[in-house]
């Protein structure tokens, strides 16, 4: 993938370093870097920076364990932060300047759910859906070729819809990200047919919140991109048309 103007700035070098230590078959990149990657891929201007690397582990396939990934990150100098309250997810190094959030998918079978000191690892809402919709991206950072697993645009939008539901404190950021992703949709009709379970409801929540064409989040995009993104998002959440059953012909 072509690098953005100005190159892959922080925390991309962190992500590349982690990818060299932990193969992409064991984890999928989510969060702000996921959104940036789709923006670069589609030629869409990114709307925000991010300071950490967010990942979902492929525990459900047996490719990774939390303990194994923790050991690899500790080799890179990261230290797990065990919160007084809440769920485990954050690793830090360099005095907390560099952060990695390591999470698991929701809907894991109980025997697969990792815990540390009696605290469960954070489960990402819609993480299971996103892991069913991944693609591999090859990028070059600091002269090193790096392979990353990332949810495709539909998987990323479903994640953002779930985050919009679950995290009311930061809904503006989730809508900003949703606009970037909507503007990166290539074929909304094909993507619409791929949605399963709660996918449609999660994406519809974003579409309803962004129904106003003059919403602040839309205004961050160039006009042509904005129109295309709105049209794509509306098509994505339309109920698929079903054919009326054909009347049986009487035969004598």
Cβ distance 91 to 21 under 8 Å?
Answer: no
Would you state the pLDDT for residue 243? 54
pLDDT above 80 (res 241) = no
Cβ distance 207 to 236 under 8 Å?
Answer: yes
Residues of the chain with CATH 3.30.460: 1-151
pLDDT above 50 (res 252) = no
What's the fold here for domain 1-151? Beta Polymerase; domain 2 (3.30.460)
Q: Is 40 left (phi over 0), alpha (psi -120 to 50) or beta?
A: alpha
Total-model pTM: 0.92
* Torsion over CA: 124, 203, 220, 180 (sign): positive
pLDDT above 70 (res 50) = yes
- The pLDDT tens digits for 131-167 are 999 999 999 988 889 999 999 999 999 999 999 999 8
């Amino acid at each position: 993938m072509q690098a953005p103007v100005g190159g892959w700035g922080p925390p991309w070098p962190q992500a590349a370093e982690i990818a060299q230590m932990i193969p992409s078959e064991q984890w999928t990149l989510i969060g702000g870097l996921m959104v940036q990657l789709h923006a670069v891929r589609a030629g869409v201007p990114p709307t925000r920076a991010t300071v950490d690397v967010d990942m979902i582990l492929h525990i459900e396939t047996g490719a990774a364990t939390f303990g194994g990934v923790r050991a690899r990150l500790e080799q890179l100098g990261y230290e797990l932060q065990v919160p007084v309250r809440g769920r485990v997810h954050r690793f830090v190094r360099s005095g907390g300047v560099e952060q990695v959030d390591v999470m698991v998918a929701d809907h894991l079978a109980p025997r697969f759910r990792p815990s540390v000191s009696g605290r469960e690892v954070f489960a990402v809402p819609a993480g299971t859906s996103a892991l069913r919709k991944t693609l591999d991206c090859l990028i070059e950072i600091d002269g090193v070729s790096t392979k990353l697993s990332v949810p495709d645009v539909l998987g990323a939008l479903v994640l953002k819809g779930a985050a919009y539901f679950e995290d009311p404190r930061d809904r503006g950021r989730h809508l900003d990200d949703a606009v970037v992703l909507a503007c990166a949709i290539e074929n909304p009709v094909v993507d619409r047919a791929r949605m399963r379970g709660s996918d449609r409801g999660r994406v519809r929540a974003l579409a309803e919140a962004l129904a106003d064409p003059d919403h602040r989040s839309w205004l961050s995009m160039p006009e042509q991109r904005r129109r295309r993104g709105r049209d794509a998002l509306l098509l994505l959440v339309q109920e698929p048309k079903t054919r009326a059953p054909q009347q049986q012909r009487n035969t004598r």
